[in-house]
Structure 1
Amino acid sequence: MLLRNPALTASLLSATTKKLCNHRCSTPAAFMASSGVACSLLVLCGKSLAENETAKAIKTSSTLKLPEDEKLSLVLHSEMDNSVMQGFFQVHSYMDSLSTNQFGRLLIWSPDLNSTHDIVSHNFCELPIGTVCIADVQTKGRGRSKNVWESPLGCLMFSFTMQMEDGRVVPLVQYVVSLAMTEAIKDICDKNGLPSIDVRIKWPNDLYLNGCKVGGILCTSTYKSKKFNVSAGFQTLEELYIKTWLHSGQRVVVQEKNEDKVIEHVVTIQGLTSSGYLLAVGDDNHMCELHPDGNSFDFFKGLVRRKLQ
């Protein structure tokens, strides 16, 4: 499976970075208008003949669920005038750089989209596994807990589909993708003779550079036909993941409210549990498991608060 190997996954991510971002217009909309490319386009493209036939079938069937407020028009990349594509996501460069067997081989691209995640999640049954959706600009990007995620021109925004049968490993997907991103960045720097960029992982799903958040991973799942639509084998990547994250040996204060009292426990982060949650050990050697959905984390202040219902 692709996600077992960060180097292979980096192929997808490296290919995705093949975009030109040196735009000279004051706003994305102004640039798109001046280039003659409609913001309302949703472009389909495949790497092989078979995938291009799949793209044609998707367009012909008109089964994709698209946001009504965007009024998107489906178009095949082969139908577009390449002369107006300069300055936008470079589909040909992306496909030429891609070396995966499944992921990213069917591409959905738009110059301006509310959310790549919405396109993918609303159409999982209509799209082949591994379909990737990319946007030059997102106007309604979101993060965890429905937080707004700013997505201006020049950033890398994409979503893709995958499927797994064991629901216990679903939480690990965000770790694998985080690790793949850091490995892809290292790979790109190395291949282009650039100094290494020390991007680190902040658990559970953020990427940081020099103390600033530069990226995040949003992983959602649905359950259908005894499979999770989001495979096994994170153990082979765990050592590399731990080397990349920010928390090895970090001591944090866990706050819990007991009636009217706030109780504090000092724990040391040791790693991950088999379920993908944080494994921490107290000074009394008591082990605990910290879940992202049940706690509020401020790791830079060394504080974990139990969320109150």
Structure 2
Amino acid sequence: MLNCAPYDVDGRILRAHLCTVQCAGALRTNLQSQGSDLEFREQHRTSGNNGSAFYAPDFFSNLKTRALGRVLLTSRATTSTQSLLQDSLRSLPDGVVFVADKQVQGKGRGGNVWESPAGCLMVSAAMRLTISGQRLPFLQYLVSMAVVQAVREEAARCLQGGAGLEVRLKWPNDIYAGEYKIGGVLCHSAYRDRAFHLVWGLGLNVGNRAPTTCLDRLFEEAAVARSLPAPPPARPERLLASLLGWLEPAVDGLAQHGFQPFQPGYLRAWLHSGQRVELEEAGSRVALTIEGLTPDGYLLARDDAGLAYELHPDGNSLDFFRGLVRKKLPAAS
């Protein structure tokens, strides 16, 4: 049972764990000092909004989790949801979620900084996990799978069953629709007090039609192809609630059983089974075929002689498949 107490944050009420109440004022000061115009919301608050396009009551009415997303921060514009949660990690309640309509210093892979326009679901979440370090890297795969599941559920709502919508995963954590990237996942973690403190972030193009495509356009194209009525716009509140509802029990399953029970679903959703890649080594090219994932979460591939290799990114290329290095795996006994 949650030990809850009210706390007044500039005239707004936040109900959460007692430890959250004790640090909520400091958290708000920390976030606002970094340029975030945010409002605290708790699960049962349904009146008012801070001008954010993300409508909290709709989100909470669809949310079916134990803790993940039960405390929500929203903002019209901020620097980076990921950075702000990372910088305030010690003050955050477990499962807090931060959604911003716009980011001016969004974080990407390799420390890249970019600006996200309106129409994207920009969200980060903080989680405390008691999990083995070997299983932690698979968290990004679960978040990516949760995104695909949420998009499929939203497509089923907006279309008649969602058939005809192809959303896939590009290893390790990009979301693609056909040839276009529509989203990506980023994870940061730190180990403290016998637990991993994880902040994961997602950028998903829901309604911004430029420069490539978005869910709204994909739904419209699918409706035209199937002679269906024009679909309603995708709702980021439902998408996020569905994502969190799938992810929370999946994280519990990962902690207990590892990634193996999830791997078949991940491989069905990804783009790479049977993909041929060429590695450049000492001036020559080596051809390999991707088969799946290794126990450590890297790419499993075989050469034409049947020898197995683990493929790692070299860390120098934004496109992982242009910068792979291989490590020979022992033969199966």
Please give the range of the TM-score, normalised by the shorter of the 2 chains. 0.7 to 0.9
CA offset digits 1:216-266 (Å, max 9, x no partner) = 00011112123222233321111011011000010100123x4xxx23211
Structure 1 residues 211, 45: closer, same or farther in 2, change over 3 A?
Answer: farther
**Normalising by structure 1, what TM-score?**
0.73
When you count strand as a share of all residues, which structure comes out higher? 2
Give the aligned residue type for 2:190: T
Deviation at 1:76, TM superposition (A): 3.9
Deviation at 1:110, TM superposition (A): 0.9
Partner of 1:179 in structure 2?
A: 145
Deviation at 1:102, TM superposition (A): 1.3
Deviation at 1:278, TM superposition (A): 0.6
The answer as to whether partners of 2:68 and 2:94 remain within 8 angstroms in 1 is yes
Q: How many equivalent pairs are there?
A: 256
Q: CA RMSD in A?
A: 3.1
The answer as to whether partners of 2:313 and 2:323 remain within 8 angstroms in 1 is no
The answer as to whether partners of 1:163 and 1:228 remain within 8 angstroms in 2 is yes
The correspondence for 2:266, drawn from 241, 252, 256, is 241
Deviation at 1:171, TM superposition (A): 1.5
Deviation at 1:87, TM superposition (A): 6.4
The correspondence for 2:185, drawn from 195, 199, 217, is 217
Give the aligned residue type for 1:223: Y
Give the aligned residue type for 1:200: R
Structure with greater contact order relative to length (CA < 8 Å, sep ≥ 6): 1
Q: Is 2:73 the partner of 1:108? A: yes
Give the aligned residue type for 1:140: Q
Q: Is 2:312 the partner of 1:291? A: yes
- How many angstroms apart in 2 are the aligned matches of 1:177 and 1:42? 33
CA offset digits 1:187-216 (Å, max 9, x no partner) = 111133343421110000101112011100
- How many angstroms apart in 1 are the aligned matches of 2:137 and 2:313? 10
- How many angstroms apart in 2 are the aligned matches of 1:206 and 1:172? 14
The correspondence for 2:194, drawn from 220, 226, 233, is 226
The answer as to whether partners of 2:313 and 2:324 remain within 8 angstroms in 1 is no
Residue correspondence of structure 1 range 84-95 to structure 2 within 5 A: 88-95=53-60
- How many angstroms apart in 1 are the aligned matches of 2:13 and 2:118? 22
Structure 1 residues 295, 190: closer, same or farther in 2, change over 3 A?
Answer: same
**Normalising by structure 2, what TM-score?**
0.68
Structure 1 residues 60, 213: closer, same or farther in 2, change over 3 A?
Answer: same
Of 195-204 and 289-298, more deviation after overlay is shown by: 289-298
How high is the sequence identity, in percent, across the aligned residues?
36
